[in-house]
Amino acid sequence: MATSLTSPPLSPVASRLARRVHLLSDFLAVARAGGIRQAAEHVHVTQSALTRRIQELEQALEVALFERSAKGMSLTPFGKALKVHAEMVEMNCTYAAAEINQLVEGATGELRIAAGPAWAYQLAPEAVALVQREFPDVRVSLLGRMNEATLPMLDEGRLEAVLGGLPDPAERSPELCYEPLLTVEHQVFASQTHPLQAAPQVSPADLLHYPWIWFTEAVSGRRYLEGLFTATGLQAPPASIDTTSVHFGFRVMADGRHLMLLPSTLQAVAQREGLQPLRMAGSAEAPGRRYVAGLMYRPTVLRLHAFAAFRKALMQGVALQASR
């Protein structure tokens, strides 16, 4: 059964009050001061302007909030009820401002980042470690998934940033920043003892004789591989294993038979696992073999000191890797 994500409609009075929340501070000033003159001095407006604001609030609620007399102004039962809720609104605004300030200063809060496999094993971990050293009270959540799953989360505000392949310009959101950081290449990986490692050049036809591990969410990788086989009149091989775990794929490939398409940024990690890319023939130059990867985020997130530190560390890591 589908669940509605929309809020229930407000009553007419609640709707009118919601549009006049800014008047609650004026209401509290009068309630605490006991009169218009004293309250007007406190909030730095004229008495006539403050009177009009209180009248607007009373008209919106359709009740009298104050009893007016020669001695001043006292709250009606309606006014007393509103005062309790107005003070809660005031308190929550204070808490919200404090939390936002802490987030901006980087003192606390949470940094939610998604990273595809091109980043999750290198660069992103080092950048996160630096953020934790500089801002130890900031909690970092790192989601290791592909763009197809994470970009909608970024659009919905459930993530601060995504590290992955940059979409084509026509597919980019005008509300997001797209920073290119490095060029990545799709490569076919296998065990260092795999029979194809002995070949000076590997053709697409050679790849059909071995079982494949597909990275489940790697849509662009599948598209490249399908194009590679189609260009030579062949059909792409089916998956023997589907997985969302690069490490699982590494362990399976260690048996010397399976192949897996992965980003070139994983070469160093793969080598430590006894794996390396195959030397593909020139026909491997199919469309989509290389792509630009980078950082995607909303411009406002740059105000968060912890994110700014993460971004800076990431760029330094990319520059260091390029210099090696």
Structure confidence by residue, pLDDT tens digits, 242-278: 998 889 999 999 877 999 999 998 998 999 999 999 9
User: Is there a single domain that holds both residue 125 and residue 174?
Assistant: yes
pTM of the entire predicted model: 0.68
Q: Based on the structure, what is the number of domains in the chain?
A: 3
**Does 114 map to a domain?**
yes
Residue 89 is part of which domain span?
12-104
CA dist., res. 224 & res. 155, Å (int): 26
Average pLDDT for 76-104: 85
pLDDT at 219 over 80: no
User: Is there a single domain that holds both residue 133 and residue 64?
Assistant: no
User: Is there a single domain that holds both residue 97 and residue 120?
Assistant: no
Q: What percent of the chain has pLDDT over 70?
A: 94
Q: What is the pLDDT of residue 2?
A: 45
Q: What is the pLDDT of residue 276?
A: 95
pLDDT at 285 over 70: no
Q: Which residue has the higher pLDDT, 38 or 146?
A: 38
**Does 148 map to a domain?**
yes
Q: Which residue has the higher pLDDT, 223 or 31?
A: 31
**Does 211 map to a domain?**
yes
Q: Which of 87, 104, 121 is the last residue of a domain?
A: 104
pLDDT band at 322 (very low <50, low <70, confident <90, very high): confident
Average pLDDT for 42-53: 94
Q: What is the pLDDT of residue 106?
A: 67
Q: Which of 104, 136, 156 is the last residue of a domain?
A: 104
Q: What is the pLDDT of residue 7?
A: 59
CATH number of the domain that residue 19 is part of: 1.10.10.10
pLDDT one-digit tens code per residue, 305-318: 889 999 999 999 99
**Does 150 map to a domain?**
yes
Q: Which of 42, 72, 104 is the last residue of a domain?
A: 104
pLDDT band at 4 (very low <50, low <70, confident <90, very high): very low
